[in-house]
């Protein structure tokens, strides 16, 4: 009897975890992704702030595939999925399947604000991190020779929208880059001349965390020199200014957006499925699509209720869903079934700066050095590849002891065309 074919569309956290479980030689496994590497997105902001090399947080997918029996990888862009004929359409041809795991992740949600989308940086891809790093360094280069004090101040003002983990971590890392490194590289610019403004629509940062940790994070950022604007919303932007909902316009040449995500574009190419908020595909308790039990959606693309509450679009959720979907496929092939998916919340964490972080797990609330150390170890653990772990650990050790960032490279002097799309 021929092996059943399982196609995994997208090799982010959910897709990779599903592939690990399914790559046991009993099925024909085909993995499809637009990139030939798995990207560890939680550390993209460190590439943007000159802390890590791009290659340190990515791992070639074919390097994984060659170790897995019955598995193959296809570098392709998926243009559509026909659920009725069980076929995935790509720019290199169509791929039939018996089972399909859709794990294409998410895209940045600008909530329909075209001016913001056209002028803001976001972090979903490696090239975007490089673009943002180039831009930050170029702002300092240009500010050193700008005679107009207002334009100089605008060049040295950095707006960050979104007070979740990404926004908080980026704000802290950027402030440390400026204070410890760039103020030394550019002696004509004082760190006190620069402004980092973190804008959050809610009444606190890190809203998913306990109140004590939210307050700690806010106090820590304030002490570092980051301005925090709570209950504020960005409604528009140009290349040189940002407009808030209350009418205030702030002159700033840098706008970083981390205020929302939506399902990846692939969700738009799938017809006959129910969608919910942010374009996510509604799934059954076993993560399959209604009327198509052979198709599973995991990670950021899946709208899954757990205790009547939709699960957040986070890497731990994607990991557990990818594992569950793979085990469900194997169980069905053995004539068995599994109980409905249930997310085991193991907690959350965010680093704020040197020796400072917040973390919550199993009812425990931790802040400061211990939380920061736990954050470091956990991220090292989840990185793929021994070399990547060693490179990241050495970079972090060097930065900790010498307060230095080695990756201060300007590889392009202008934004790439379409880099914000």
DSSP 201: S
Strands annotated E in 304-419:
305-306, 309-310, 348-353, 356-361, 364-367
User: Is residue 235 a contact partner of residue 113, using CB atoms and an 8 Å limit?
Assistant: yes
- In 3D space, the residue among 388, 411, 394 whose CA is nearest the CA of residue 58 turns out to be 388
CA angle (57 as vertex; 54, 59 as ends), nearest 5:
105
Closest CA to 82 of 392, 285, 294: 294
Alpha carbon of residue 278 to chain centroid: 16
**Active-site option among 53, 55, 169, 404:** 169
Could you give the CA distance from residue 146 to residue 156 in angstroms, rounded to a whole number?
11
CA 43 to chain centre: 8
Active site residue 200: no
Q: Give which of 299, 288, 240, 230 is closest to 264, Cα–Cα.
A: 299
155 by Cβ neighbours in 10 Å (0-12 / 13-18 / 19+) ranks as buried
Pairing relationship of beta strands 234-237 and 28-33 according to DSSP bridges: unpaired
Helices (H), 120-250: 126-144, 149-155, 165-176, 183-185, 211-224
Catalytic residues: 169
């Amino acid at each position: 009897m021929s092996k059943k074919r399982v196609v995994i569309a997208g090799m982010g956290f959910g897709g990779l975890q599903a592939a690990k479980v399914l790559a046991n030689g009993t099925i024909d496994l085909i993995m499809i992704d637009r990139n030939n590497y798995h990207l560890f997105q939680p550390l993209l902001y460190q590439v943007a702030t000159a802390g890590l090399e791009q290659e340190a947080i990515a791992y070639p997918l074919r390097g994984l595939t060659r170790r897995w029996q019955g598995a193959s990888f296809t570098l392709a862009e998926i243009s559509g999925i026909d659920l009725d004929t069980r076929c995935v359409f790509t720019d290199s041809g169509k791929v039939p399947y018996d089972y399909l795991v859709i794990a294409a992740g998410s895209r940045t949600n600008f909530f329909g604000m075209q001016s913001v989308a056209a002028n803001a940086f976001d972090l979903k891809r490696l090239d975007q991190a490089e673009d943002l790093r180039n831009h930050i360094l170029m702002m300092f280069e240009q500010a050193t020779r700008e005679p107009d004090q207002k334009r100089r101040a605008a060049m040295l003002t950095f707006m960050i929208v979104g007070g979740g983990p990404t926004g908080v971590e980026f704000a802290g890392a950027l402030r440390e880059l400026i204070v410890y490194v760039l103020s030394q590289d550019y002696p004509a610019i004082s760190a006190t001349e620069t402004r980092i403004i973190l804008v959050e629509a809610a009444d606190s940062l890190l809203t998913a965390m306990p109140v004590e940790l939210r307050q700690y994070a806010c106090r820590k950022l304030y002490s570092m020199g980051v301005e925090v604007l709570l209950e504020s919303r960005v409604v528009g932007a140009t290349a040189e200014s940002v407009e808030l909902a209350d009418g205030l316009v702030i002159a700033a040449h840098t706008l970083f957006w981390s205020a929302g995500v939506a399902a990846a574009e692939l969700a738009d190419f799938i017809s006959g499925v129910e969608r919910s908020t942010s374009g996510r595909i509604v799934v059954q308790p076993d993560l399959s699509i209604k009327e198509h039990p052979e198709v599973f959606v995991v990670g950021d693309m899946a709208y899954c209720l757990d205790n009547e509450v939709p699960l957040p679009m986070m890497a731990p959720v994607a990991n557990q869903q990818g594992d569950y979907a793979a085990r469900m496929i194997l169980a069905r092939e053995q004539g068995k079934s599994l109980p409905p998916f249930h997310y085991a919340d193991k907690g959350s964490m965010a680093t704020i700066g040197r020796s400072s972080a917040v973390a919550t797990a199993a009812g425990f609330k931790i802040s400061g050095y211990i939380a920061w150390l736990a954050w470091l170890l956990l991220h090292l653990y989840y990185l793929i590849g021994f070399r990547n772990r060693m490179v990241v650990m050495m970079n972090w050790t060097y930065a900790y002891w010498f307060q230095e960032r080695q990756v201060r490279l300007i590889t392009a002097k202008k934004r790439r065309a379409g880099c914000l799309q």
